[in-house]
Structure 1
């Protein structure tokens, strides 16, 4: 069973999005530079070809970004909900959120948290607005892995 720390969940929300935005910005800057060179030297065809290649690449990456936007937004929302559950659980148990890890990155029915005080199962009420922490004992605790730094 794999548990994810609060820091792992918090950091994984936007790392790839930042990398994509940096790549898009660099490509847009390169496209503008090549376009300016082409407009200054209309007889030099290599800048026209380079600007067309970079522009096409930029459009392709923008299309992929748009396609992944809803999936990333949904995943980010679920991760945000999970971090809220981790913070609330830590508050109820009187431990720091950094010492709490959870067994899923998305909200599902079988959530468990691992704290210095033990392992707890999270039971939601029927409408999913409130939860209760129930201490559990796992039979095989040797298979527990924790992703992220505590």
Structure 2
């Protein structure tokens, strides 16, 4: 069973997609270079064709990654809800966020929160606007894996 620290969830939520940025930047630079080459050699259509290929590649890459982008936004929103819950629990229990660990990166009924050596089961109301903490025990504490940043 894995428990994620507050810092780990926060860092995961803030990490940009470097591959997406790198590919778009590379395609854009290639488009600019071929555009300049076409402008200098207007009689040579190969640069115009290359520019069109790069424009279509950028459009295709954006189209393919748009769905992934929407999924990432949903995951970030769910993680933000968990971070808000962990802040609230830290304030309620008067503990540092460094001592909090969550069994899930998204809010779910029955998720576990580890505060120091104690484990709590989280119960939510129907619209996830309030919660109840119930102290619980883990059957095998040796199987608990703490994931920190």
TM-score by length of 2: 0.85
Q: CA deviation at 1:42?
A: 2.1
Number of matched pairs: 149
Task: In structure 1, list runs of 5 or more residues that go unmatched.
Answer: none
Offset of 1:84 from its aligned partner?
A: 0.6
Q: Which residue of 2 aligns with 1:111?
A: 111
Written as runs of structure 1 = structure 2, the 5 A alignment for 1:105-144 is 105-144=105-144
- 1:8 and 1:60 map into 2 onto residues whose CA distance is 33
- 1:27-66 aligned within 5 A: 27-66=27-66
Structure 1 residue matching 2:104: 3-state secondary structure: coil
Per-residue deviation at 1:45?
Answer: 4.3
| Mapped partners of 1:97, 1:19: distance in 2 | 31
Partner residue in 2 for 1:24: 24
Q: Which runs of 5+ in 2 are unaligned?
A: none
2:20 counterpart SS class: helix
Q: Distance in 2 between matches of 1:22 and 1:92?
A: 43
User: RMSD over aligned Cα, in angstroms?
Assistant: 2.0
TM-score norm. by structure 1 comes to 0.85
State the shift of 1:125 in Å: 2.8
Written as runs of structure 1 = structure 2, the 5 A alignment for 1:96-107 is: 96-107=96-107
**Tell me, what secondary structure is at the counterpart of 1:119?**
strand
Question: Residue deviations 1:24-51, cap 9 Å, x none?
Answer: 2342232122212212212344433432
- Per the alignment, residue 78 of structure 1 pairs with 78
Give per-residue Cα distances to partners, 1:49-102, cap 9 Å, x unaligned.
Answer: 432332232112110232223212211111110111111111112121122110
Moved over 3 A (4+): 16-19, 43-46
